[in-house]
Amino acid sequence: MSTKPLIDANLRERIIAQPDVILDDTDLMRALVAANERAMGSNIVDLRGIAMERLETRLDRLEDTHRSVIAAAYENLAGTNQVHRAILRMLEPLSFETFLRDLGGPVAEVLRVDCVKLLLETAQSEDDPVLQRLGKVLSISGPGFIDDYLTAGRNVPVRQVTLRQVQEGNTRVYGDDAGFIRSEACLKLDFGPNRLPGMLVMGSEDPHQFSPQQGTDLLSFFAGVFERTMRRWLA
């Protein structure tokens, strides 16, 4: 081996003064290890080098997982803030009519959905003038409609929150907006003993906004607050 340096003197001095610069550079270290393997010859197996490659692969996977966890945490935080802001906006109205109007306006905007509909099971006639005045957001149906809608007529348990993709919305639920709905979040509502249930539906034009693989904790919390708010109006 020649004792005479083959690299620029200034660069050599910088490397000697700051060796961490090389050690912290993954690409440079990989090039040096490869050069060392070539110098040893093809008949020598460098087990340390193989072990280092495997450790690097594991480290890359860990870093990818770390980034995914951080991204998911930020997404969850953003979703939590979004639901909290929607709840605060929902609690502001002092009249039921304003409460319903805000559901289809400011609350829907905060939640970033294309429409919000409230369906109540009741034996009351649809010709009631109060219902007609509130009909843009509110609709009614006979007893049992909500469970049939959520289960699609199948003999399966009814969940509080159902997320799914649809070809188009149900006209009984969405009215004139049914044609552009491609995914929906259905929140079944319990208004207390001796009261028929209700359902809050969030519809979206985006087929990927709601899907069964998504978590439902935040929407379950939203449904719980909505139930308690509605009990005040129904009292």
Which CATH architecture describes the domain 83-234? Answer: 2-Layer Sandwich (3.30)
Task: Quote the Cα angle for 218-110-104, to 5°.
Answer: 100
pLDDT at 126: 59
**Sign of dihedral through CA atoms 71, 77, 79, 82?**
negative
Domain ranges of the chain: 9-61, 83-234
- CB count in 10 Å sphere of residue 150: 20
Strand 198-204: give its sheet, edge to edge: 138-141, 115-121, 198-204, 183-189, 161-165
Please give the chain's pLDDT, 235 residues, in tens: 455 556 777 777 777 777 777 767 777 777 776 766 666 656 555 656 666 677 777 777 777 777 777 766 666 677 788 889 999 999 888 888 888 889 989 999 999 999 999 999 887 655 555 565 666 888 888 898 999 999 987 888 888 999 999 998 888 899 888 899 999 999 999 988 888 999 999 999 999 999 998 888 889 999 999 999 988 887 6
Helices (H), the chain: 9-17, 20-23, 26-40, 47-90, 96-102, 108-111, 129-133, 145-151, 171-174, 217-234
